[in-house]
Amino acid sequence: MKDAVALLADLGDNARAIAGGHSLIPMMKLRLATPDHLVDLAGLPNLKGIREDGSDIVIGAMVTQHELIHSDLLSAKLPILRETALLIADPQVRYLGTLGGNVANGDPGNDMPAVMLCLGATYQVTGKSGERRIAAREFYQGAYFTALEPGEILTAIRIPVPPPGHGYAYQKLKRKIGDYATAAAAVILTMKGGKVGDCAIGLTNVAETPLFAEEAAKILAGSKLDAATVKKAVAAAEAITSPATDTRGPAQYRTKMAGVMLARALARAAQRARGE
Ligand SMILES: Cc1cc2nc3c(=O)[nH]c(=O)nc-3n(C[C@H](O)[C@H](O)[C@H](O)COP(=O)(O)OP(=O)(O)OC[C@H]3O[C@@H](n4cnc5c(N)ncnc54)[C@H](O)[C@@H]3O)c2cc1C
């Protein structure tokens, strides 16, 4: 790890870390990234593994999306990760693509960042001046701009485990299998006596960064998820989006689809929290 950090620091802008290569190599093919040097993280064993640490689960940055899907620990404690990973690309991409690469990339189209905002995850990073932790909710600054300093490596993703029986859902609209989201929504919630307890919402690919829809979640807390309250929350979530018009549709359509995905994710998460 020390050597990789030193190499990245010494080579500066001319070098990039490479994990699974399934975002970086396509960008290099398009000449959107032109590093002279690649520092391969694949040989660093302490970036692997999924473990419990008190009330957190710690996932090594080099854990692949395929490994997320097949982890019994994650299926039991953080099932939203499996649900989300299954909606990323296709098995070939998931065999190599890593969780660390997905969240460090800074592409608003990546699915995991919104889920990390929703879960209140923290990113552990190491650089020449040592280790630090960055809240996922403070990590994303713009398209491909993150709080990672040059030369820093993301080593692990630390996630507080939501209470047993929590509801969860990741709903993603895509044009075909293997496509990035036109819009997607992540929801984690608890239900108590038919009412929403805690609620967190993340949105994918409807702004330059993943969005944490705090106001929408506040509207839902304490409600019975009745149609009028869900409508208000959906409107609050739609209001913070600013998608681009692109091949996935006009901006207005993508905003509306974020709302539709959120309404579906809320319904599914509530069903799960009720044990249905
Ligand atoms: C056909 C196709 C379809 C896809 N569809 C989707 C999709 O629907 N949803 C989705 O979320 N993703 C999708 N992806 C992207 C895929 O999930 C990537 O694997 C992922 O985004 C990046 O992970 P990686 O390990 O491949 O990272 P890499 O491509 O190796 O790296 C990506 C970036 O992150 C940096 N980086 C990687 N790891 C670290 C680290 N540990 N510390 C610091 N910096 C690091 C690299 O320097 C680089 O800038 C798709 C990819 C392809 C090719």
Beta bridge mates, 184: 172, 204
Beta bridge mates, 145: 142
Q: pLDDT tens digits for 145-155?
A: 999 998 999 99
Beta bridge mates, 59: 50, 157
**For the CA of 90, the nearest atom of ligand 1:** 3
- For residues 219 and 231, give the distance between their C-alpha atoms in angstroms, rounded to a whole number: 10
Mean model confidence pLDDT for the chain: 96
Band of the pLDDT at 20, cuts 50, 70, 90? very high
- For residues 121 and 113, give the distance between their C-alpha atoms in angstroms, rounded to a whole number: 9
- For residues 185 and 268, give the distance between their C-alpha atoms in angstroms, rounded to a whole number: 12
**For ligand 1, is residue 61 a contact (CB within 6 Å)?**
yes
SS3 237: helix
* Closest residue by Cα to residue 187 from 100, 121, 114, 274: 114
Mutate to test the pocket of ligand 1, among 28, 44, 84, 93 (most ligand atoms within 8 A of CB): 93
Q: Tell me what pLDDT residue 35 has.
A: 95
Q: pLDDT tens digits for 215-243?
A: 999 999 999 999 999 999 999 999 999 99
Give the helix, strand, coil percentages of the chain, each rounded to 5.
40, 25, 35
Q: pLDDT tens digits for 160-198?
A: 999 999 999 999 999 998 899 999 999 999 999 999 999
Beta bridge mates, 133: 124
Longest CA–CA span in the chain (Å) reads: 58
